[in-house]
Every structure is written in C-alpha cells, then in structure tokens.
C-alpha cells in the first residue's frame, strides 16, 4: 500500500524507545523494559508518528494507542540493526489482552498491517522476537511507523479517525505526473517535505519509477521516484501523481512520455491479446500484466526490425528472459503479481511492431 519508511538511527540504551513524530518536535516515550507498556500520544494535529527502539530475547513491548471504531490503522515495522537474524515482529491486540488480535506479524511476510479498528479503546502494538533471536537472547533494533486516519482529537489519545484517508496514493511500481497545467513542471526534492532542497523538475505526464516508496511527512504524502527515462531522483508530493489507468479490452493505455508504461487487459472470455504499437528512436515501452504462479505464459514480439528487443521481469524485479523478434517465450510462471514486458527500440528511426500475450 502507501507507507514506506527510512531506517532509524541506532540507540545506545538497549531498552529505550524514542517516539519521534513525523511532524517536527516529537515527544519522548517513557523508558521501556521487558514486558512493558508504553503510551503513545501524537503531536497536536498529527496523524502519524515513528517509534524507535530495541528488544532483546524473549521480552516484548506493548505500544498503546487509543483509537475509535471504524478507524484505519496502518503499522509498519522496519529492522534497523541486529546481532542476530533480525526476526522482529508485531501483533495488534486489545490493550491488556493476549488474544482477540487484529493482526499477527509472524504469520505475515511483510511486517506491515492495515486494519480497521472494531471498537473504541486502547490498542497495543506488541513487538517481540521469534526463532533463534528470541532463544539466544539476540538484540534487534527497529523502527515502527504508525498512521491513523484523521478526525477530531480526544484528550489523552492519538488523533483518532473515522473512515479512510481521502488523498492517499496506493504504491505501485510506476506513477504518472498529473498536473492541472499541461505545460507545468513538478519539483523534485532531496527530502520528503516542501522545505527539502530542489534537485530538479519533471514535466507533466512524465512516467516516474517508484524507487523508495511513499511516506507521510508534514501532514502530506511524499513518494521517492525518478523518471523511467532518466532524470532527477528524489521526493515529490504524492498529490501531483496518479496511477496508470487500465486499458480497454484487448488494448493498452498509452501514457504521454517518450519511454512509457502501459497496462494490458484481455477481452472477457479470452486468455490472450495482440496489440499494435510504435516506438520512436531510442525509446521503450513497458507492458504490465498481472498473472499467478503456475500459469503458463506465451509472449512474442512480432516485428521485422532487428533494433527491437524485449525483456521480461518477474514481480520481484528479477529477469525472466530476454531476446529479439526471432525469439518467443513460453514457460510456467513461478511468482504471482505484476509481470513487466519491456520492448526497446535502439535504432535511430521509429519502428512499428505487434506484441502477443497469452496466459492459461
């Protein structure tokens, strides 16, 4: 989804936990010890915060936050340092209980939770270790980032919310710069805030590659990106980005950029499609196609020009295969998710071609 956070600095105190608001001037959390409970309070007007700490062996620490029924709570844990395997997890539980949890971290694979709070009250984010780190008494440093959808604050609580955040941009591999002025430019900064240093500008319609995820800072969402065709890399305000739009049946949606990205869909009742396209000199197009592990994929680039080539990437970014117009791809997929098909024109003139996709 939309939260991606930088790693925290190490802390000298093994049992200390410091609460840092994502807005300026975070407050100190009380010193935490094994099986301790630490109350988390947000800065006035803030809806997100960061908690930094360390944990050893079989201890656990509960970070307690007040929330209301219907709020969305997003929690992400990032291991920052360890002398073991870094096997730190968290659960979300009613405060003071060991059951009726909303999320169990060691049963998930990304240390990130997005839950809807079912009732008013205090909820605990319980941090703990598993496996050899727990049994051998290893030390793990971590950063927890907590976001709760905003609403009016109540005394002694975080700023709880009802409903969902209306302006949050879901994370994807690519975004499109979407400005109200067709000829406008978007500032790229060296930090996720309006006061960050200017490192460059990108034009409206530029395809931006997600290079560092999105985070909340100074009350708004920022994403770390770079132009897919090359250019300034840094942070931009997410409100000026949009997601690529799905194409119609058997079509791909062209985006306004020299090197572009298009999403492929199949017509109802079919398992494949063929698309006609054209690339200018020294440009590329990336086709996105969702598929599941175990499905069989067929791909072909139909063209006469030897200056055209293709590469297929798995959802984890690894290269599945590559070739030119004379080579077809047939194989069983081993990952579930967004597969990328990049077609490149290395020649000095425009080239027309067809791409053929089939999945069964």
Instruction: Give the confidence band of 151 by pLDDT, cuts at 50, 70, 90.
Output: low
Residue 119 has pLDDT above 60, yes or no: yes
- List the single range of 45-54, 161-170, 204-213, 215-224 with lowest mean pLDDT: 161-170
Residues pairing with 340 in the sheet = 288, 313
Task: Tell me the C-alpha distance between 19 and 96, whole Å.
Answer: 21
Residues pairing with 313 in the sheet = 319, 340
Q: Are strands 174-177 and 185-189 parallel, antiparallel or unpaired?
A: unpaired
Can you give the pLDDT at residue 160? 30
Can you give the pLDDT at residue 258? 43
Instruction: Say which residue, 171 or 28, is predicted with more confidence.
Output: 171
- How many angstroms from the chain centroid is the CA of residue 255? 22
Task: Tell me the C-alpha distance between 321 and 248, whole Å.
Answer: 27
Can you give the pLDDT at residue 310? 93
Task: Tell me the C-alpha distance between 193 and 195, whole Å.
Answer: 5
Instruction: Say which residue, 285 or 182, is predicted with more confidence.
Output: 285
Can you give the pLDDT at residue 35? 65
Query: To 5 degrees, how large is the angle CA 248–CA 249–CA 253?
Result: 35
Q: Which two tokens stand for residue 163?
A: 């409903």
Among 41-55, 265-279, 292-306, the range of highest mean pLDDT: 292-306
Task: Tell me the C-alpha distance between 207 and 230, whole Å.
Answer: 10
Task: Tell me the C-alpha distance between 39 and 333, whole Å.
Answer: 47
Q: Taking a C-beta distance cutoff of 8 angstroms, is the pair 76, 103 a contact?
A: no
Task: Tell me the C-alpha distance between 73 and 148, whole Å.
Answer: 5
Instruction: Say which residue, 244 or 259, is predicted with more confidence.
Output: 244
Q: Where are the domains of the chain?
A: 17-148, 174-242, 260-359
Q: How many CB atoms lie within 10 A of CB 314?
A: 17
Q: Mapping DSSP to helix (H, G, I), strand (E, B) and coil, where does residue 240 land? A: helix
Task: Tell me the C-alpha distance between 341 and 338, whole Å.
Answer: 10
Can you give the pLDDT at residue 298? 94
Q: Taking a C-beta distance cutoff of 8 angstroms, is the pair 166, 220 a contact?
A: no
CATH of domain 260-359: 2.60.120.380
pLDDT digits (tens, 9 = 90+) for 288-300: 888 899 999 999 9
**Stretch 176-196: mean pLDDT:** 79
Residue 23 has pLDDT above 60, yes or no: no
Q: What are phi and psi of 81, to 5 degrees?
A: -165, 150
**Stretch 23-33: mean pLDDT:** 35
Q: Which helix (H) or strand (E) holds 134?
A: helix 131-135
Among 118-132, 198-212, 251-265, the range of highest mean pLDDT: 118-132
Q: Which residues contact 85 (CB under 8 A, 6 or more apart)?
A: 131, 132, 133, 138
Q: Which fold has domain 174-242?
A: SH3 type barrels. (2.30.30)
Can you give the pLDDT at residue 44? 67
Q: Which two tokens stand for residue 270?
A: 């079919």
Can you give the pLDDT at residue 136? 93
Can you give the pLDDT at residue 329? 94
Q: How many CB atoms lie within 10 A of CB 152?
A: 9
Distances in Å between the alpha carbon of 251 and those of 209, 254, 262, 311?
A: 22, 9, 9, 20
pTM score of the predicted model: 0.39
Mean pLDDT rounded to a whole number for the chain: 76
- List the single range of 168-182, 224-238, 278-292, 316-330 with lowest mean pLDDT: 168-182
Q: Which fold has domain 17-148?
A: Jelly Rolls (2.60.120)
Instruction: Say which residue, 267 or 325, is predicted with more confidence.
Output: 325
Residue 191 has pLDDT above 70, yes or no: yes
Percent of the chain with pLDDT over 70: 77
Instruction: Say which residue, 25 or 112, is predicted with more confidence.
Output: 112
Can you give the pLDDT at residue 129? 92
Can you give the pLDDT at residue 256? 35
pLDDT digits (tens, 9 = 90+) for 204-220: 878 888 888 888 776 67
In CATH terms, are 174-242 and 260-359 the same topology? no
């Amino acid at each position: 989804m939309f939260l991606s956070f930088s790693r925290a600095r190490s802390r000298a105190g093994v049992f200390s936990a410091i609460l840092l608001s994502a807005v300026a001037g975070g407050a100190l959390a009380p010193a935490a010890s094994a099986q301790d409970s630490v109350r988390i309070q947000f800065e006035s007007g803030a809806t997100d915060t960061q908690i930094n700490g360390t944990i050893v062996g079989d201890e656990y620490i509960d970070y307690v936050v007040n929330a209301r029924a219907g709020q969305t709570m997003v929690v992400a844990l990032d291991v920052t340092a360890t002398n073991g395997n870094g096997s730190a997890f968290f659960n979300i539980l009613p405060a003071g209980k060991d059951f009726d949890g909303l999320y169990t971290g060691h049963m998930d694979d990304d240390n990130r939770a997005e839950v809807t709070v079912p009732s008013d009250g205090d909820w605990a984010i319980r941090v703990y270790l598993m496996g050899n780190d727990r049994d051998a008494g290893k030390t793990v440093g971590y950063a927890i980032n907590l976001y709760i959808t905003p609403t009016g604050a109540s005394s002694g609580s975080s700023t709880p919310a009802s409903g969902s955040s209306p302006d949050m941009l879901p994370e994807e591999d690519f975004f499109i710069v979407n400005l109200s002025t067709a000829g406008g430019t978007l500032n790229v900064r060296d930090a996720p805030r309006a006061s960050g240093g200017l490192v460059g500008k990108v034009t409206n319609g530029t395809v931006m590659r997600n290079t560092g995820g999105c985070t909340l800072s100074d009350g708004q969402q920022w994403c770390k990106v770079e132009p897919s065709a090359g250019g300034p890399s840094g942070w931009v305000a997410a409100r000026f980005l949009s997601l690529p739009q799905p194409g119609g049946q058997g079509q791909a949606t062209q985006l306004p950029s020299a090197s572009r990205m298009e999403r492929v869909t199949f017509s109802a009742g079919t398992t494949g499609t063929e698309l006609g396209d054209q690339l200018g000199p020294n440009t590329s197009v990336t086709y996105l196609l969702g598929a599941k592990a175990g499905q069989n994929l067929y791909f072909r680039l139909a063209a006469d020009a030897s200056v055209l080539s293709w590469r297929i990437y798995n959802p984890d970014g690894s290269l599945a295969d590559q070739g030119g117009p004379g080579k077809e791809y047939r194989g069983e997929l081993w990952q579930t998710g967004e597969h990328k098909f990049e077609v490149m024109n290395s020649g000095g003139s425009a080239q027309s071609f067809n791409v053929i996709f089939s999945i069964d």
